[in-house]
C-alpha cells in the first residue's frame, strides 16, 4: 500500500548498506540521535534482513524500512523481520500484488511517465525515483510535476549534501534518500561520531 501517510513530513532518508549486523543498533541509535527518524536498510548484503530485525526490536523510535526489494518473497521476509515500510528500485506486477496483500507501506520505483502513471493507477502517490542523477535529476522531476501532479517522489542515486537542497526545493519531492549519510568506511570503522555529524547536517537539510 501507499507509504505517503507513514512517511509524511520525512525529508531525508539514509540508505544504509550493513555488512556487520552488530553495527545495526548503534547505527540506528546514532542516526536517531542526530535527528533522522527513518532508516532504509538495503537488502544488498546478507546482513540486511537481520539488521532490520535488530533495529525494529531494539530501537523503537526508529522507523526502519527495507530497500532494494525485488521480489515478493523479500517483501514478505522484511515484513516478518519488522520492517515498517519497503522500497524498491522499480516495480513488477507480482511485487505490487504482494505489497497490496501484505498491507506493508511500500515505495515502488519509477523513472518514466508511463511507469509513474501505472503506479498511480494502483494508488501509489509516493514513488522512488532511481537512479535520480542518471534518470534526469532535478530538471526531469520539475518537468513531470505539471503533467503528473499527483505523484511525489523520493529521489535516490547520486544525491549528496550538495545537491539535496535542489531536489528538496521541488514541490513534487517528498524526501531525498542516499548513502552519503553513512559512508561505508566510517561504518566499517564504527566511527559513529563522524556519522552522527554527517547525519545531523543531513537532518538540517530537511527543516
Ligand atoms: C538506493 O538504493 O537508493 C541508492 O543506491 C542510493 O544511491 P546512492 O548510493 O547514490 O546514494
Give the phi and the psi of residue 94 in degrees, each rounded to 5: -65, -45
Ligand 1 atom closest to Cα of residue 179 = 11
Nearest CA, atom 11, ligand 1: 178
Rounded to whole angstroms, how far apart are CA atoms 129 and 176?
9
For residue 50, report the distance from its CA to the centre of ligand 1, in Å. 20
Ligand 1 binding pocket, CB closer than 6 Å: 15, 42, 67-68, 130, 156-159, 177-180
Strands (E) in 31-121, as ranges, are 38-42, 63-67, 85-87, 106-107
- Per-residue confidence (pLDDT) for residue 26, from 0 to 100: 98
The pLDDT tens digits for 142-154 are 999 999 999 999 9
pTM value surpassing 0.85:
yes
pLDDT, tens digit, for every residue of 101-149?
999 999 999 999 999 999 999 999 999 999 999 999 999 999 999 999 9
**Measuring from atom 5 of ligand 1, which residue has the nearest CA?**
157
Confidence bin at 207 (pLDDT 50/70/90)? confident
Q: Please name every residue paired with 176 in a beta bridge, in sequence order, or none if there are none.
A: 12
Which of 157, 159, 184 has the most ligand 1 atoms within 8 A of CB, as the residue to mutate? 157
Amino acid at each position: 500500500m501507499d507509504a505517503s501517510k507513514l512517511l509524511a513530513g520525512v525529508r531525508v532518508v539514509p540508505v544504509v548498506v550493513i555488512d556487520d549486523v552488530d553495527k545495526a543498533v548503534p547505527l540506528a541509535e546514532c542516526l536517531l540521535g542526530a535527528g533522522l527518524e527513518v532508516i532504509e536498510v538495503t537488502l544488498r548484503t546478507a546482513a540486511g534482513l537481520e539488521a532490520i530485525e535488530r533495529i525494529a526490536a531494539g530501537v523503537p523510535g526508529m522507523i526502519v524500512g527495507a530497500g532494494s526489494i525485488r521480489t515478493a518473497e523479500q517483501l514478505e521476509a522484511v515484513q516478518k523481520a519488522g520492517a515498517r515500510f519497503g522500497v524498491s528500485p522499480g516495480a513488477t506486477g507480482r511485487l505490487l500484488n504482494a505489497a497490496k496483500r501484505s498491507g506493508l507501506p511500500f515505495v515502488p520505483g519509477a523513472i518514466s511517465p508511463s511507469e509513474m502513471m501505472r503506479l498511480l493507477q494502483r494508488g501509489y502517490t509516493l514513488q522512488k525515483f532511481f537512479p535520480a542523477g542518471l534518470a534526469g535529476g532535478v530538471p526531469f522531476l520539475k518537468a513531470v510535476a505539471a503533467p503528473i501532479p499527483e505523484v511525489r517522489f523520493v529521489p535516490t542515486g547520486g544525491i549528496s549534501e550538495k545537491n539535496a537542497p535542489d531536489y528538496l526545493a521541488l514541490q513534487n519531492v517528498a524526501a531525498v534518500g542516499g548513502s552519503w549519510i553513512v559512508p561505508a568506511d566510517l561504518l566499517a570503522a564504527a566511527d559513529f561520531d563522524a556519522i552522527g555529524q554527517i547525519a545531523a547536517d543531513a537532518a538540517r537539510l530537511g527543516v
